[in-house]
């Protein structure tokens, strides 16, 4: 378990709980002590959460133990069959796509995947997709549209990859085309921001009838670091930029960008992954049910109407 | 390297204006010739000597692309709010007011209806000198309305991009304009109405990564910078020097991302011919 600076008060408590649990084998007296310590840990955690700054919440969205797409695949879906490749150039492992069952119902699932270990981080390119990733996503989404399967996407990326090959192979076109493809899907589309919703690379999986955000996820036009280096001319101003960008879930909800915020367990999704997955399952099931019965035309029009009204202007 | 190049060009332009006296003469960065300013203006900001393309402002583009006195501007009254209460070194509304004074536009986009070779078209143009042509709510709304007018009037839609990307000061609302405008394009495609994307210098970030590179045809200006990520960001990420001409129009043509590079003075004829080949 990794701890961020502001989680440090938990370290000692949790170590003692673990020690006591190990020692309590068959000894009654310790149970009450353990329960007391656990209650205290809960309180500490609640206090930490109540006092989080915007920047600390941004850090939670990128917590090294935060559940990634594959964790939700494991907990929320069965029969997952991954499909590889864009049929044009390669298979991008920063985006995982395929079909699975959700509460028994066949769906397409597509998500950015970050890595846990250093090796896997590199393999997944830190969740930053190349054009191939978006083209693969489009391929799977169009399959889903043909076979009448809802599309569930899971957004968790710092942004699309800024690299030489990505530019050569049309990163801009790939993202633009993904936005177009999603706008035309004849099936229900639900996107959930599970961690970082980083600019165009995130939106490329986000043109959905319903957009959900986990409580401590972010959705932003640019990373706070990128924004700080442009407007403050100093990346160290990232916390200031984060404050100005209003990138947290409640902000996005107020701006009319997301339909639902899924609450996380006390301390954040990483503190209780099965619980988080359960909450997300319930939310997705309700949203899917809500879209059931809409025709292909109605779903496309519903998606159009959702994005058509986003914006703030006079006149 | 692209960032370095742009900076140098800007510096040279500023120097030229300072030393050669009140914009009577200009020294071309392409050929180093000193040429009368009015000759650049008459030539729509293309160097009469070497053909180097400078940025042309919206009224010039309208004159260049549309039949005389056919342009009717729409939505000029739209102006931005400050939905985030965004403040960096200056508050966002202060930046907008300064840009309005400097440019004479209410925001970074000018749109309207007109005729191109007697054919009704809907035209939208980015104003780069308004906050780097950045796309916030007003720009996104005007683009979407332009596309919707094309749909209603069955008129081809021409969008000319010259933009650094999404406007940071409107946060995720700017990001969502990408989805909004592209969704409208989806309707245009369904209706078989052409969308011609003209890529002027520069077309990057969220504007590149939404409608600009998914035209039925993408037509670039010579030398225009076109790309998703900034060259400096890429160099920092991959820690290697980028090739000569990276992200220039010619690079995109080589990589299959644009249909043609067309000099500004031939743009109207090129588009007119295409529309005729498709629609007449």
Q: Which percentage of chain A shows pLDDT scores above 90? A: 88
User: Which A residues, 65 through 104, put their C-beta within 8 Å of a C-beta on chain B?
Assistant: none
Residue B5, pLDDT > 80, answer no
Mean pLDDT value across residues A150-158:
98
Q: Which residues from A are below 8 Å from B255, CB to CB?
A: 168-170
Closest chain B residue by Cα to residue A311: B137
CATH annotation of A58-308: 3.90.226.10
Range(s) of chain A covered by CATH 3.90.226.10: 58-308
Superfamily designation of domain B55-279: 2-enoyl-CoA Hydratase; Chain A, domain 1 (3.90.226.10)
pLDDT, residue B239, reads 87
How is residue B106 written in tokens? 């209410």
Tell me, yes or no, if A183 comes closer than 8 A to chain B by beta carbon: yes
Confidence of residue B238 (pLDDT cuts 50, 70, 90): confident
Helices (H), chain A: 9-23, 29-50, 54-61, 69-76, 118-123, 131-146, 164-168, 171-183, 199-203, 224-227, 238-245, 249-254, 273-291, 296-308
Please say whether the beta carbons of B231 and B248 come within 8 A: no
Considering only CB atoms, B182 lies closest to which of A180, A240, A255, namely: A180
Which of B105, B39, B104 has the alpha carbon at shortest distance from B78? B105
pLDDT averaged over chain A? 96
- CB pairs below 8 Å between A and B: how many? 199
- Note which residues in 199-218 of chain B have CB less than 8 A from chain A: 205-206, 208-214
* Residue B78, min C-alpha distance to chain A (Å): 5
ipTM: 0.96
Residue for token pair 């992200």: B247
% of chain B exceeding 90 in pLDDT: 87
Under an 8 A CB cutoff, do B168 and A230 touch?
Answer: yes
Q: Choose the mutation target among B228, B239, B257 for the interface with A, i.e. most A CBs under 10 Å.
A: B228
CA–CA separation, B13 and B177 (whole Å): 33
* CA closest to A245 among chain B residues: B171
Q: Is residue B60 helix, strand or coil?
A: helix
Mean per-residue pLDDT for A13-38? 84
Contact state of A172 with B209 under an 8 Å Cβ cutoff:
yes
Contacts with B224 from chain A: Cβ below 8 Å:
none
Cα gap A118→B237, rounded to integer Å: 17
pTM score, two decimals? 0.94
B124 touches chain A (CB under 8 A): no
Which residue from A167, A232, A252 is facing B228, i.e. has the nearest CB? A167
Residue A310 to residue B180, Cβ atoms within 8 A = yes
Do A299 and A187 touch, CB atoms closer than 8 A? yes
Q: Are B189 and B215 in contact (CB under 8 A)?
A: no
pLDDT value, residue B6: 43
For B123-133, the pLDDT digits (tens) are 999 999 999 99
Identify which of B181, B79, B159 has the alpha carbon closest to the alpha carbon of residue B112. B159
The region that residue B23 occupies, defined by phi over 0 for left and psi between -120 and 50 for alpha, beta otherwise, is: left
Of all residues in chain B, the one with the smallest CA distance to A222 is B168
Which residue ranges make up each domain of chain B? 1-54, 55-279
Q: Measured between alpha carbons, how far is A143 from A155 in angstroms, rounded to an integer?
A: 20
Query: pLDDT grade, residue B57 (50/70/90)?
Result: very high
Quick one: closest CA in B to A208, which residue?
A: B179
């Amino acid at each position: 378990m990794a701890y961020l600076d502001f989680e440090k008060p938990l370290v000692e408590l949790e170590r003692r709980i673990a020690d006591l649990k190990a020692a309590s084998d068959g000894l009654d007296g310790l149970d009450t002590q353990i329960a007391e310590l656990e209650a205290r840990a809960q309180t500490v955690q609640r206090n930490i959460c109540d006092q989080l700054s915007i920047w600390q919440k941004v850090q939670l969205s990128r917590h090294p133990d935060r559940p990634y797409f594959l964790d939700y695949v494991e907990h929320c879906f069965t029969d997952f069959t991954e499909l590889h490749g864009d049929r044009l150039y390669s298979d991008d492992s920063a985006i995982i796509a395929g079909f699975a069952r959700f509460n028994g119902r066949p769906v397409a699932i597509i998500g950015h995947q970050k890595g846990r270990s250093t090796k896997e981080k590199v393999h997944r390119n830190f969740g930053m997709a190349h054009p191939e990733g978006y083209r693969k996503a489009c391929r799977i989404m169009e399959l889903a549209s043909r076979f009448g399967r809802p599309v569930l996407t899971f957004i968790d990326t710092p942004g699309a990859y800024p690299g030489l090959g990505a530019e050569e192979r049309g990163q801009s076109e790939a993202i633009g085309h993904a936005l177009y493809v999603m706008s035309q899907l004849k099936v229900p589309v639900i996107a959930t921001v599970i961690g970082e919703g980083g600019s165009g690379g995130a939106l490329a999986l986000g043109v959905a009838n319903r957009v959900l955000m986990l409580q401590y996820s972010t959705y932003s036009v640019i990373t706070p670091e990128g924004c700080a280096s442009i407007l403050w001319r100093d990346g160290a101003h990232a916390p200031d930029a984060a404050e100005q960008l209003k990138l947290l879930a409640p902000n996005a909800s107020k701006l009319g960008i997301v339909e639902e915020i899924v609450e996380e367990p006390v301390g954040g999704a990483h503190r209780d992954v099965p619980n988080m997955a359960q909450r997300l399952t319930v939310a997705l099931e309700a949203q899917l049910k809500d879209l059931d019965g809409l025709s292909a035309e109605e779903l496309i029009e519903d998606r159009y109407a959702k994005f058509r009204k986003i914006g703030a202007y006079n006149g | 390297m692209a960032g370095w190049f742009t900076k140098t060009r800007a510096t040279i332009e500023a120097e030229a204006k300072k030393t050669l006296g009140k914009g009577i003469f200009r020294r071309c960065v392409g050929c180093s010739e000193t040429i009368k300013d009015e000759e650049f203006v008459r030539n729509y900001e293309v160097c009469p000597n070497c053909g180097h393309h400078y940025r042309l402002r919206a009224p010039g583009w309208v004159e260049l692309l549309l039949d005389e006195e056919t342009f009717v501007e729409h939505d000029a009254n739209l102006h931005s709010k400050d939905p985030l209460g965004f403040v960096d070194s200056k508050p966002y509304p202060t930046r907008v007011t300064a840009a309005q004074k400097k440019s004479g536009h209410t925001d970074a986009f000018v749109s309207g209806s007109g005729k191109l070779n007697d054919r009704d078209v809907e035209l939208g143009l980015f104003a780069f000198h308004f906050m780097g042509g950045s796309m916030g709510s007003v720009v996104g709304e005007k683009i979407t309305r332009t596309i919707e007018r094309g749909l209603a009037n069955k008129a081809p839609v021409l969008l000319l991009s010259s933009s650094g990307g999404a406007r940071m000061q409107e946060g995720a609302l700017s990001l969502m304009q990408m989805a909004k405008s592209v969704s409208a394009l989806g309707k245009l495609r369904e209706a078989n109405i052409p969308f011609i994307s003209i890529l002027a210098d520069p077309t990057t970030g969220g504007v590149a990564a939404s409608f600009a590179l998914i035209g039925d045809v993408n037509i670039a200006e010579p030398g225009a910078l076109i790309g998703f990520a900034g060259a400096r960001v890429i160099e920092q990420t991959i820690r290697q020097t980028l090739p000569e001409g990276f992200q220039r129009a010619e690079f995109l043509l080589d990589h299959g991302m644009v249909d043609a590079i067309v000099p500004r003075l031939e743009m109207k004829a090129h588009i007119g011919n295409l529309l005729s080949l498709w629609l007449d």
